[in-house]
């Protein structure tokens, strides 16, 4: 492989290296494969470490998943139909926001997936022999340590190296690629922390909590202040997943990572006074893990030379709009368009500049709206129309911006 050195005047298929095969990197690979490029993904582990929790994907993400030919039924979706707000202590329903005929209005469904199902299906799809484009290659146990953004060379910890015409840094919130192109992130630990846990539908049935499996909803307790529980079903309604936000000071600030476990009792004790049905659910839940949250400021740029950033490497955001992955999907879609036969005439640097011009303002707006929604549920897209509130991100605008983000 060798980087393109001449400026072409017609479409040219590129050798692309995607660094990181998380959800964002896989979408970038798929989108660029569909656009006619030859893609190799390099992953530091021999698995990508996706965790057992839910992932809601609104229409601004699901439309691309469908367009790229991902077999959605194999991701075992739950089609979301409403948002439900419960009283923290009694659990009574305080508010319901029906999504109505969401698909007719926005063009594709609002899905809830299990993260592992999504990751596996994307892994299969990028490598599939069938479907448009050249099957992508995935090379594991390759941790990128050096990236030369001018010459297109990547060096790996194991001593090997690779050359590419275009390098996409999809290596997550602690991106090394970002550092390699000179960005020093400004960030701070959030005052909030998050536990996630899952429970099977079978257990919920036996506990008499069947409604949480069949509501096809994202359900909230709290959300005005740090404490918030977000519950939803995924995996063909066979699993229910909870995100449980609480003050980071509760369990010390020295713990970090995505693999720190907690016991069911610790989870219950974190939320005194919570609806006793949810405490009951917690006591029987599995795979309880802590997620420390960080607030990153907008980065000064997203690309340099022939290297572009994508997903959490470019715009890590708090999870309160459920938009981190969706924004990664939009990034991938924009890359597929700027490097498409219709738009790409061989100038990789210009195409990456265009990618940044189109995507950075939009993702930054969603990043800011996510931070606002951390302690104010009424800032969540879809929770209220927002017409009454200056500068709130609304569903309508969100969809309009997603459309406008097409080059
Ligand atoms: C609590 C919580 C709930 C969320 N819920 C939602 C939701 O409902 N909807 C939604 O849209 N988003 C949600 N998100 C956000 C979403 O999970 C992330 O935005 C998304 O997973 C980021 O994907 P990524 O591929 O950019 O990064 P990552 O998933 O972090 O993937 C990075 C990959 O790069 C690899 N890597 C790292 N360094 C190197 C290296 N040097 N060399 C090679 N490989 C490397 C890693 O091993 C990993 O596989 C949530 C996030 C949190 C924390």
Ligand 1 geometric centre to CA of 206 (Å): 34
- The predicted pLDDT at position 1 comes to 44
Q: What is the pLDDT of residue 255?
A: 64
43 close to 140: Cβ distance less than 8 angstroms: yes
Ligand 1 centroid – CA 309 distance (Å): 13
Contact at 8 Å (CB) between 214 and 237?
yes
Q: Which atom of ligand 1 is nearest to the CA of 324?
A: 19
pLDDT of residue 203: 98
How much is the pLDDT for 135?
98
Q: Tell me which residue has its CA closest to atom 37 in ligand 1.
A: 171
Question: Which atom of ligand 1 is found nearest the CA of 316?
Answer: 19
Q: What pLDDT is recorded for position 382? A: 74
Q: How far apart are alpha carbons 172 and 45 in whole angstroms?
A: 13
Q: Could you identify the atom of ligand 1 that is nearest to the CA of residue 325?
A: 11
Closest atom, ligand 1, to C-alpha of 61:
11
- Residue 375: per-residue pLDDT: 96
In the three-class reduction of DSSP (H, G, I as helix; E, B as strand; rest coil), residue 335 is classed as helix
**176 in contact with ligand 1, CB cutoff 6 A:** yes
45 lines ligand 1 (CB under 6 A): yes
pLDDT of residue 232: 98
Burial (Cβ within 10 Å: 0-12, 13-18, ≥19) of residue 92: exposed
| Residue whose CA lies nearest to ligand 1 atom number 1 | 319
Interatomic CA distance for residues 324 and 387, integer angstroms: 24
Question: What spacing in Å lies between the alpha carbon of 333 and ligand 1's midpoint?
Answer: 17
153-156 and 161-163: which strand pairing?
Answer: antiparallel
Q: Which two tokens mark 202?
A: 């079978």
- Host H or E run for residue 333: helix 324-338
Residue spans of the chain under pLDDT 50: 1-2, 407
- What is the CA(277)–ligand 1 centre distance, in A? 31
Q: Are strands 137-139 and 38-42 parallel, antiparallel or unpaired?
A: parallel
Residue 307's pLDDT is: 98
Please give the full DSSP string across 117-160, using - where no structure is assigned: HHHHHHHHHHH-SSSSSPPPEEE-S--EEEEETTTTEEEETTS-
pLDDT at position 407, please? 47
Nearest CA to ligand 1 atom 53: 319
Tell me the pairing of strands 307-309 and 166-169. parallel
How many angstroms separate the alpha carbon of residue 288 from the centre of ligand 1? 18
- Give the ligand 1 atom nearest the CA of 329: 11
Question: Which amino acid residue places its CA nearest to atom 15 of ligand 1?
Answer: 324
For residue 32, the 8-state DSSP code is H
Q: Are 309 and 144 in contact (CB under 8 A)?
A: no
pLDDT value of residue 242: 98
3-state secondary structure of 295: strand
Does 300 contact ligand 1 (Cβ within 6 A)? no
Q: Got the DSSP string for 337-358?
A: HHTSTTT-SS-HHHHHHHHHHH
> How big is the chain, counted in residues?
407
How far is ligand 1, taken at its centre, from the CA of residue 407, in Å? Answer: 25
């Amino acid at each position: 492989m060798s980087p393109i050195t001449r400026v072409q005047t017609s479409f040219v298929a590129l050798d692309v290296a995607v660094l990181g095969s998380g959800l964002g990197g896989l979408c970038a690979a798929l989108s660029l494969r569909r656009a006619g490029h030859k893609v190799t993904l390099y992953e530091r582990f021999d698995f990508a470490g996706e965790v057992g929790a839910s992932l809601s994907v609104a229409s601004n993400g699901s439309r691309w998943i469908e367009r790229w030919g991902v077999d959605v039924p194999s991701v075992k979706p739950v089609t979301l139909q409403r948002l439900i707000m419960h009283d923290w202590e009694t659990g009574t329903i305080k508010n319901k926001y029906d999504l109505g005929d969401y698909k007719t209005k926005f063009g594709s469904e609002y899905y809830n997936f299990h993260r592992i199902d999504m990751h596996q299906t994307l892994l299969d799809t990028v490598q599939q022999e069938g479907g448009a484009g050249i099957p992508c290659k995935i090379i594991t146990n390759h941790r990128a340590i050096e990236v030369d953004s001018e010459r297109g060379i990547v060096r790996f910890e194991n001593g090997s190296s690779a050359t590419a015409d275009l390098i996409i840094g999809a290596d997550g919130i602690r991106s090394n690629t970002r550092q390699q192109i000179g960005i020093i992130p400004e960030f701070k630990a959030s005052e909030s922390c998050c536990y996630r846990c899952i429970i099977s539908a079978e257990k919920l049935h036996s506990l008499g909590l069947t409604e949480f499996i069949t509501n096809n909803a994202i359900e909230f307790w709290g959300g005005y202040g740090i404490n918030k529980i977000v519950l939803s079903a995924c995996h063909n309604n066979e699993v229910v997943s909870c995100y449980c936000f609480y003050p980071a000071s509760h369990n010390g600030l020295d713990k970090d990572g995505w693999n720190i476990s907690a016991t069911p009792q610790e989870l219950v004790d974190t939320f005194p006074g919570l609806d006793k049905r949810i405490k009951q659910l917690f006591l029987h839940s599995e795979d309880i893990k802590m997620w420390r949250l960080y607030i990153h400021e907008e980065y000064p740029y997203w690309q340099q030379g022939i290297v572009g950033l994508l997903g959490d490497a470019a715009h890590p955001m708090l999870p309160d709009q459920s938009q981190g992955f969706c924004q990664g999907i939009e990034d991938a879609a924009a890359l597929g368009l700027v490097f498409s036969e219709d738009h790409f005439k061989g100038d990789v640097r210009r195409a990456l500049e265009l990618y940044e011009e189109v995507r950075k303002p939009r993702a930054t707006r969603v990043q800011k709206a996510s931070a606002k929604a951390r302690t104010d549920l009424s800032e969540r897209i879809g929770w209220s129309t927002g017409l009454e509130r200056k500068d709130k991100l609304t569903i309508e605008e969100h969809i309009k911006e997603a459309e406008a983000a097409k080059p």
